[in-house]
């Protein structure tokens, strides 16, 4: 027996594909994993050592609900120096269990059943599910390949109703890798102010942006700090996915209810992991920057190579570590293509349909794998497609 809400929650198709790939591996088949959205680099050693040192020093008991003061101060300092955004580390910073929890608690703590939240399509799978779990209605706004996956502010305004309470923006984007341009974010900010809406800004890929593209935070625009909940974390740039650490920033009127929700959900995040995060924020950034440079090499190779495959059309993304090629010319949908590539080529990808209706006819490729493996994956995909 399950609740009516639970009945509306599907299994993540990303994980379904991952499990299917692992099943084939157990049967002895070599699989090249391009389906999971995680860096393939280990966490930098100085971060690991800081967490080990915290364990040995006995820093492994409960922390304050909002996180250890040292980490909240480091997060506050980052946004002050990099964006000229001032957040009180005592009342306006909450250390969360990844951005995943941040999205969930923000929607549940700030919206009511029957409210509407505008979300991008295609989008990360959690956005609409987190809304559904609070009986909040997710309303899609469109990201299209022909417009470089940029939101259309005019379409967004057309979809604002009396029930709309929040706009979710995500830049750089999962699954498209798109980076929202400054002028587009400015227009979205104007809409939020005009219609008195909150903005939930997922900026987890903030540091994985390829020149000349630049990351811009919507919270930094005039009059936007007070209506923006900014989400970020350590999973991507610092390759700390399994550490489960993120953070929520916003004015105390918004972070206070989020903190109250957070404290009953998980009490606090892992204490010794937080000490590792302090080292990440304050320590040597070069290992992470080197990782981003390697991702750029992979992006350049993969976007060109995939475009050479018959039936594939692949724009070059400006951020994150995903390609979102169209496979519409093959006549297949994303599920069929991803299934075929897994079974026949031994290459695991994800159907674009998993990310919303506008993902139909695409697949998501995570180029978070070695260049040697990426070259092999391309050859295998080419071989399978040449037989069709």
Give pLDDT, residue 198. 98
Cα 115 from Cα 126, distance rounded (Å): 17
Give pLDDT, residue 21. 86
Residue 24 has pLDDT above 90, yes or no: no
Over residues 60-87, the mean pLDDT reads 97
- Structural domains in the chain? 4-43+286-386 (3.90.1150.10), 59-282 (3.40.640.10)
Over residues 175-185, the mean pLDDT reads 97
Banded model confidence at residue 81, pLDDT cuts 50, 70, 90: very high
Which tens digit of pLDDT belongs to each residue from 229-274? 999 999 999 999 999 999 999 999 999 999 999 999 999 999 999 9
Banded model confidence at residue 15, pLDDT cuts 50, 70, 90: confident
Residue 2 has pLDDT above 90, yes or no: no
Give pLDDT, residue 112. 97
Banded model confidence at residue 52, pLDDT cuts 50, 70, 90: very high
Over residues 74-84, the mean pLDDT reads 97
Q: Could you tell me the pTM of the whole model?
A: 0.95
Q: Between 323 and 386, where is the model more confident?
A: 323
**What percent of the chain clears pLDDT 70, i.e. is strictly above it?**
100
Over residues 110-128, the mean pLDDT reads 97
Residue 17 has pLDDT above 90, yes or no: no
Over residues 202-211, the mean pLDDT reads 98
3-state secondary structure the chain: CCCHHHHCCCCCHHHHHHHHHHHHHHCCCCCEECCCCCCCCCCCHHHHHHHHHHHHCCCCCCCCCCCCHHHHHHHHHHHHHHHCCCCCCCCCEEEECHHHHHHHHHHHHHCCCCCEEEEEECCCCHHHHHHHCCCCEEEEEECCHHHCCCCCHHHHHHCCCCCEEEEEEECCCCCCCCCCCHHHHHHHHHHHHHCCCEEEEECCCCCCECCCCCCCCHHHCCCCHHHEEEEEECCCCCCCHHHCCEEEECCHHHHHHHHHHHHHHHCCCCHHHHHHHHHHHHCCCHHHHHHHHHHHHHHHHHHHHHHCCCCCECCCCCECCEECCECHHHCCCHHHHHHHHHHHHCEECEEHHHHCHHHCCEEEEECCCCHHHHHHHHHHHHHHHHCC
Give pLDDT, residue 12. 80
Mean pLDDT of the chain: 96
Give pLDDT, residue 4. 82
Give pLDDT, residue 224. 98
Over residues 342-351, the mean pLDDT reads 96
Banded model confidence at residue 18, pLDDT cuts 50, 70, 90: confident
Which tens digit of pLDDT belongs to each residue from 149-163? 999 999 999 999 999
Which tens digit of pLDDT belongs to each residue from 300-345? 999 999 999 999 999 999 999 999 999 999 999 999 999 999 999 9
Give pLDDT, residue 283. 97
Give pLDDT, residue 114. 96
């Amino acid at each position: 027996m399950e609740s009516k809400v639970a009945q509306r929650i599907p299994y993540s198709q990303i994980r379904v594909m991952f499990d299917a790939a692992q099943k084939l591996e157990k049967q002895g088949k070599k699989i090249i994993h391009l389906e999971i959205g995680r860096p393939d680099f280990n966490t930098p050693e100085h971060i690991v050592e800081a967490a080990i040192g915290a364990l040995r020093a006995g820093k492994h008991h409960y922390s304050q609900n909002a996180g250890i003061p040292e980490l909240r101060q480091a997060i506050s300092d980052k946004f002050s120096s990099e964006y000229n955004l001032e957040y009180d580390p005592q009342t306006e910073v909450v250390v969360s269990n990844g951005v995943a929890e941040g999205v969930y608690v923000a929607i549940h703590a700030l919206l009511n059943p029957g409210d509407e939240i505008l979300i991008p399509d295609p989008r990360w799978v959690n956005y609409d599910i987190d809304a559904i779990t609070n009986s909040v209605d997710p309303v899609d706004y469109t990201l299209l390949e022909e417009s470089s996956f940029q939101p259309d502010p005019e379409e967004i305004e057309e979809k604002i109703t009396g029930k709309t309470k929040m706009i979710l923006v995500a830049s750089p984007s999962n699954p498209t890798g798109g980076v929202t341009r400054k002028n587009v974010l400015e227009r979205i900010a104007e809409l939020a102010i005009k219609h008195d809406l909150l903005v939930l800004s997922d900026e987890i890929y903030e540091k994985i942006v390829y020149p000349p593209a630049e990351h811009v935070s919507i919270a930094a625009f005039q009059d936007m700090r007070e209506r923006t909940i900014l989400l970020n974390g350590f999973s991507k740039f610092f390759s700390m996915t399994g550490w489960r650490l993120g953070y929520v920033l916003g004015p105390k009127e918004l972070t206070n209810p989020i903190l109250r929700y957070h404290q009953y959900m998980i009490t606090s995040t892992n204490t010794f992991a937080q000490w590792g995060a302090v080292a990440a924020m304050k320590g040597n950034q070069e290992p992470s920057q080197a990782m981003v440079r390697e991702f750029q090499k992979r992006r350049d190779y993969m976007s060109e190579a995939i475009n050479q495959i018959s039936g594939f059309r692949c724009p070059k993304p400006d951020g994150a570590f995903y390609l979102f090629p169209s496979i519409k010319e093959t006549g297949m949908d994303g599920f069929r293509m991803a299934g075929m590539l897994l079974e026949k080529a031994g290459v695991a990808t994800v159907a674009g349909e998993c990310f919303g209706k506008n993902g139909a006819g695409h697949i998501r490729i995570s180029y978070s794998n070695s260049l040697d493996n990426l070259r092999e994956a391309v050859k295998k995909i080419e071989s399978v497609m040449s037989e069709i």
